[in-house]
Amino acid sequence: MKSLSRPWVPAVAGHATLLIGLLDIVKTVAPGFGHTRMGQWSDFLPGIVTTVARASSLVVGILLVMLAHGLRRGKARAWRAVVVLLPVSAVVEIVHLRHLVTAAVSLVVCAALLVNRRRFAALSDPRTRRRALWNLLGLGALDLGLGYVLVSAHPAAIVGHPSVPDRLEHVALGLVGVEGPVTYSAGHVSDLVYFSLLALGTLTTVTTLYLALRPERPVAELSADDERRLRELLDRHGRRDSLGYFALRRDKSVLFSPSGKAAIAYRVVSGVMLASGDPIGDPEAWPTVIDRFMAEARRHAWVPAVIGCGETGGEVWTRRTGMSALELGDEAVVEVAGFTLEGRAMRNVRQMANRVERAGYTCRVRRVRDLAEAEKERIRHAADSWRGTDTERGFSMALGRFGDPADGACVVATAHKDGEIRAVLHFVPWGPRGVSLDLMRRDRDAEPGLNELLIVRTLQAAAGMGVEQVSLNFAMFRAVLARGERLGAGPVLRAWRGLLVFLSHWFQIESLYRFNAKFRPIWEPRFVVYPNARDLPRIGVSALQAEAFIKLDGPAQLVAKVTPGRSARRAAV
């Protein structure tokens, strides 16, 4: 148990493994490296330098580099692989090279990992078979790059002047064990290139086949039983959090407390275990389900984080886990009983709504269960056609579907002109007396102000549907935007507000705030809960991935900017 008190061990082991792997690769592909001071120093690290064995050293180096990240996270599989590779390296050093010092270093590092084996107990992350494709493409590109360097690393031994295409052909053939068009005057150089290329090709083939043939495990999926249990908790406790219903997204996983009285919905993205909103259910059971959440994160070496939780939820999370909380922004909540279009403060909204109605638009507000299937399909088709991106956005504050029979209590507001649907708002239940905005889309050619008219008509119709509170958009960093424009704001606050206004050109942070403020809402703060400040960038990127603002399934790419008329209307991060 003593090793459990050394949380730094995985990080040190991971960085050491990465360094050893990189040095092994460099020693193989750079012939002059061994004559440098670092090359001489690296000879005391695990590595192989004979003609045939240098090819093995290249493969061992690549494997160590690939395993370093998992070792840093305390992954059990990475630990097992490294404690196998190091003794193999030591045996080769003793048998082929008689380098006892290098072999001893390998065995010492291996022994240190064995002594601290309890620090490497994290399970592997669930993956799909798509990882096999990216492994093939990634290692294939690496093979071509390293292979070209290997083929060209000994210019004095190359016969003639082979062209770049000839060298690439030699690499491609060498990866499958076939001699290419490049010839060498020195036999040991030819052997080194041949065995190195063959080893690279074998490594790529073996790892790709392993990933392709292992059982596929879904990353996140809400089972029918989990959904039933969550709906039962929402029926009893759904009024506590306007985001509770979004836990019913079917691309989330869920953990229940031992008593079954509380639950946390989450998704794992890039090694971050993301929960959203407050825990669902009885607050007395929140601590036990939070404990389960943290235990699951530790079990897999995931970074735990919560985005968009309320003040009560944030207090429980921070008190129970020791994590920190950062105010992310404010949710706009309108009290139906207090809403009116009268008065100077509502003049802009009143005039905009009247102008749109005079242009011939009409609005209808209904429960989804009251719609015919044909009309549901029309609304769904219209909303999809107005979506600004190919990807359906949302995670923490979007349901991601419309018209499901299980969602009959949802509210839909539609705007019509000349018999055509021109805008749609979709609200999910917030307990028995509230609704929370899920989706806001309109025809790009429709009149400006159509969204404002729909919100006004929804608020006016809410009382007749038994709705007392309506949650609108989430305004990120609203307090900074509001305080930064006031008289007497300091230079730091003004600079922070200026940065947010600048970023609004892409993410429209300021416009969301001003759009919400038109309806004179109550501002409810929302928080992100995180373990350490150094984890915030990683959590931020993971949250952007979860909300589908960034796609990292393949090469990273930033997708379209956020606007109030798109499904990711709350943009939690």
How would you label 504-523 residue by residue, b for 16+ Cβ within 10 Å and e otherwise? Answer: beebbbbebbebbbbbbbeb
Q: How many CA atoms lie within 13 A of 450 on its CB side?
A: 26
pLDDT at res. 125? 65
The helix (run of H) or strand (run of E) holding residue 349 is helix 347-358
Task: Give SS3 for 83.
Answer: helix
The helix (run of H) or strand (run of E) holding residue 141 is helix 130-152
pLDDT at res. 279? 95
Q: Tokens standing for 229?
A: 């249990």
pLDDT at res. 384? 87
**φ and ψ at 435, to 5 degrees?**
-135, 155
How far from each other are the two terminal CA atoms of the chain, in whole angstroms? 39
Distance CA 405, CA 402 (A): 9
Distance CA 450, CA 415 (A): 8
Distance CA 303, CA 8 (A): 16
Per-residue pLDDT of the chain (573 residues; tens, 9 = 90+): 343 456 677 888 888 778 877 776 776 665 554 444 444 444 444 444 445 556 666 677 777 777 787 787 778 878 888 888 778 777 766 665 555 766 777 788 788 888 888 878 777 666 656 777 887 888 888 888 888 888 888 888 888 888 888 898 888 888 877 788 888 888 777 877 877 787 788 878 777 756 665 544 445 678 889 999 999 999 999 999 999 999 999 888 999 999 999 999 999 888 899 999 999 999 999 999 999 999 988 888 888 999 999 999 999 999 999 999 998 889 999 999 999 999 888 999 999 999 999 999 999 999 999 999 999 999 999 988 887 665 566 778 888 889 899 999 999 999 999 889 999 999 999 999 999 999 999 888 888 889 999 999 999 999 999 999 999 988 887 877 777 777 667 777 788 777 777 776 666 777 788 888 899 999 999 999 999 988 899 898 888 888 877 665 443 333 333 333 333 344 332
Q: Give the relative orientation of helices 9-29 and 51-72 as an angle to the nearest 10 degrees.
A: 150
Q: Tokens standing for 322?
A: 């020791």
Distance CA 67, CA 182 (A): 33
- Give strand pairing partners of 270: none
The amino acid occupying position 243 is L
Distance CA 414, CA 227 (A): 28
Distance CA 542, CA 536 (A): 10
Distance CA 312, CA 449 (A): 35
Instruction: Please report the DSSP string for 444-512 in residue order.
Output: TTSPTTHHHHHHHHHHHHHGGGT--EEEEEEEETHHHHHHHTSTT--HHHHHHHHHHHHHHHHH-HHHH
Distance CA 349, CA 521 (A): 13
Distance CA 311, CA 518 (A): 24
pLDDT at res. 157? 86
Q: Give the relative orientation of helices 9-29 and 100-115 as an angle to the nearest 10 degrees.
A: 150
pLDDT at res. 572? 30
